[in-house]
Amino acid sequence: MAKLYFSYSAMNAGKSTVLLQASHNYRERGMHTLLLTSAFDDRQGQGRIVSRIGLDMAAELFDPDTDLHAFVAKEHACRKLDCVFVDEAQFLTEDQVWQLARVGDEMGIPVMCYGLRTDFQGKLFPGSAILLAIADQLREIRTICWCGSKAIMVVRLDGKGKIIEDGEQIVIGGEDKYVSLCRKHWSKKQLGPAGSK
C-alpha cells in the first residue's frame, strides 16, 4: 500500500523547495510525477509551484470543488504516475484529503502533501487538521524564530508592519504579510529586532 504523507511547517521553512527537489529526484530517474497546487495561491501566477530560492515547476490547480481522486485517476490513465505532490495542502477540503488517501490505498500511488499546520490565530487549517489525523506519515519541516528557537506559529502583518489579530483565515501573502515565530514570541506578539515589539 502506498502512503499518504504530510510535511508541515510554519511559513518560510522551505516546504516548496523540499517538494520540488523530491519531484526532481523522481523525474531524474525516469519516473512521472503529478504536481498539484491550490488555485487560491496566485502570488507567482496560477499553476506554478515556486520556492523562495528560485526553483519552480508547472503544476495543476485544485480548488474546493476538484475531485482529486478522479483527477489523479484520469492523469494516471494517460501516463503511469509514480508519485503525486500537493503544495499548499492546508487548502484541501476534508473530502479531498480522503480522496488523496484513496489514491494511495486503491491506486498504489504515494501522495506527498506539503502545507501549513496553523493559521495566524494558531488554529488548524481544515486540510491540515484531517491530514494530521489520517496521514500515514507526518514530517515537520523546521524553521526558526528570530530568537533561534523552533518557529511553530505565524503572525499576519498589516501593510505597516503591525500584527493583525482578526480577519479571514486565508489571505495570500509571503514575507511581506507573515512572520514565523516560536510560541513564546507569538503569544507575546514580539517580532524581534527587525519589527515592532
**Domain annotation covers residue 108:** yes
pLDDT at 172: 54
**Domain annotation covers residue 134:** yes
Q: What is the DSSP letter of 191?
A: -
Instruction: Find the mean pLDDT for residues 90-104.
Output: 97
**Domain annotation covers residue 65:** yes
Residue bearing cell 514565523: 180
Q: What are phi and psi of 85, to 5 degrees?
A: -115, 130
Domain that holds residue 16: 4-141
Residue 112, pLDDT above cutoff 90: yes
**Domain annotation covers residue 66:** yes
CATH number at residue 55: 3.40.50.300
pLDDT at 66: 96
Residue 28, pLDDT above cutoff 90: yes
**Domain annotation covers residue 160:** no
Instruction: Find the mean pLDDT for residues 19-48.
Output: 85
**Domain annotation covers residue 34:** yes
Q: Which of 86, 12, 18 is nearest to 55 (CA)?
A: 18
pLDDT at 173: 52
**Domain annotation covers residue 189:** no
Strand partners, 8: 115, 140
Number of structural domains (the chain) is: 1
Residue 197, pLDDT above cutoff 50: no
Residue 134, pLDDT above cutoff 60: yes
Q: What is the mean pLDDT of the chain?
A: 87
8 Å CB contact between 122 and 166:
no
8 Å CB contact between 151 and 120:
no
**Domain annotation covers residue 53:** yes
Tell me the catalytic residues.
88
